[in-house]
């Protein structure tokens, strides 16, 4: 049973707190000199992800530096497709590349879901290390990419500005697309379940490209997989909260928690906190939603917007976070300014 005294878990249980718990997407990352040093020691990004001791170290670094209320496992959403048999590599300065899945034959060559743990065991070991080493007040978050977002990378072989290749596959061969989505949904359930068994106290589902789905496709490919994953996790781990992040869902944030069973909906910064308080927070905990650009520019604008968000969400359960991951050009001093502002310093 989780320690319900932890601020993060109290907010996720629906409690309105005088000061919201804080963590930050990509809080372990390139904006920190200590991260860059550890990454150099690992050799490359994937070697860092699969080295439990070093992955745990970079997860702990922002906790030591800032005292965030939660730590999020250091990994990558594309480790699951790699575990399913896709080739994965990273191009310096450009990001990930994968072998593509666009035909029935390519889909058929993927490994069965039960085989993923051979590849992902080092990730579970990282979780075990963190559950031992984190401060007792710090909540440990596990995560995975949502099936739609992961599928967009597997279909295109890389990130794309509009997820065009995935939308094209839906139009031309919906059966293959849905077969891939189904495999990813089942794999995500098992992957997150293993993270929880290893010690994750909360899990988060990142649907970074949910906003490119419209109408019935949003329901079918963003909402329904999240609902299926959350229902399966709740049946196995009824006490573990789930955060859903259908980024840039806009109006579709409304009712998303109720429709999927999520304990919290994370918000990007394209929606105002006042609107989200009125339309989304009424259903439970929300997370967000400071623009990550403030971590670069800092100053009074950072202080003012941080206070604005805290105030707007102050009448309900809220976890303070960014609306997107912190960027490599962010100033570590601005992170401390944000934390001090939230906590009333």
Point out the residues that are catalytic. Answer: 26, 30, 39, 76, 153
Residues 309, 288 contacting (CB under 8 angstroms): yes
Task: Count the neighbouring beta carbons within 10 Å of the beta carbon of residue 253.
Answer: 25
Residue pointed to by tokens 């010690």: 199
d(CA 108, CA 22): 43
DSSP string covering 266-316: E--TTS-HHHHHHHTGGGSEEEEEE-TTHHHH-HHHHHHHHHHHHHHTTTS
Residues 250, 270 contacting (CB under 8 angstroms): yes
Residues 265, 286 contacting (CB under 8 angstroms): yes
d(CA 167, CA 177): 9
Quote the Cα angle for 268-95-59, to 5°: 65
- List the beta bridge partners of residue 245: 206
d(CA 133, CA 6): 16
DSSP string covering 247-260: TT-GGGGTTHHHHH
CA distances from 72 to 105, 127, 140, 195, 289 (A): 36, 10, 6, 12, 17
d(CA 265, CA 55): 26
**SS3 (DSSP) at 30:** coil
């Amino acid at each position: 049973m989780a320690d319900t005294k932890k601020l993060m878990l109290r907010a996720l249980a629906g409690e309105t707190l005088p000061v919201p718990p804080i963590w930050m997407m990509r809080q372990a990352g390139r904006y920190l000199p200590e991260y860059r040093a550890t990454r150099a020691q690992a050799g490359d990004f994937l070697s860092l992800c699969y080295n439990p001791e070093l992955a745990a170290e970079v997860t702990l670094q922002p906790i030591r530096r800032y005292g965030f209320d939660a730590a999020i496992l250091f990994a990558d959403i594309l480790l699951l497709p790699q575990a399913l048999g896709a080739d994965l590599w990273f191009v310096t300065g450009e990001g990930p590349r994968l072998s593509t899945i666009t035909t029935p034959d390519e889909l058929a060559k993927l490994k069965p879901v039960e085989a993923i743990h051979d590849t992902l065991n080092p990730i579970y070991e990282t979780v075990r290390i963190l559950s031992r080493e984190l401060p007792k007040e710090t909540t440990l978050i596990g995560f995975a990419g949502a099936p739609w977002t992961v599928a967009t990378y597997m279909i295109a072989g890389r990130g794309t500005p509009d997820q065009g290749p995935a939308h094209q596959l839906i139009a031309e061969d919906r059966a293959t697309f849905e077969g891939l989505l189904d495999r990813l949904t089942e794999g995500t359930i098992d992957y997150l379940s293993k993270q929880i068994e290893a010690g994750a106290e909360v899990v988060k589902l990142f649907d970074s490209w949910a906003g490119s789905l419209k109408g019935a496709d949003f329901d079918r490919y963003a909402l329904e997989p999240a609902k299926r994953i959350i229902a399966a996790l709740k049946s196995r781990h009824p006490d573990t909260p789930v955060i859903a992040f259908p980024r840039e869902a806009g109006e579709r944030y409304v009712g998303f928690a109720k429709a999927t069973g999520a304990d919290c909906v994370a918000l990007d910064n394209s929606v105002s906190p006042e609107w989200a308080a009125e339309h989304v927070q009424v259903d439970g905990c929300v997370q967000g939603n400071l623009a990550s650009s403030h971590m670069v520019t800092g100053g009074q604008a950072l202080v003012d917007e941080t206070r604005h968000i805290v105030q707007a969400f102050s009448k309900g359960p809220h976890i303070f976070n960014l609306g997107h991951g912190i960027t490599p050009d962010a100033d570590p001093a601005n992170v401390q300014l944000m934390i001090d502002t939230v906590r009333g310093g």
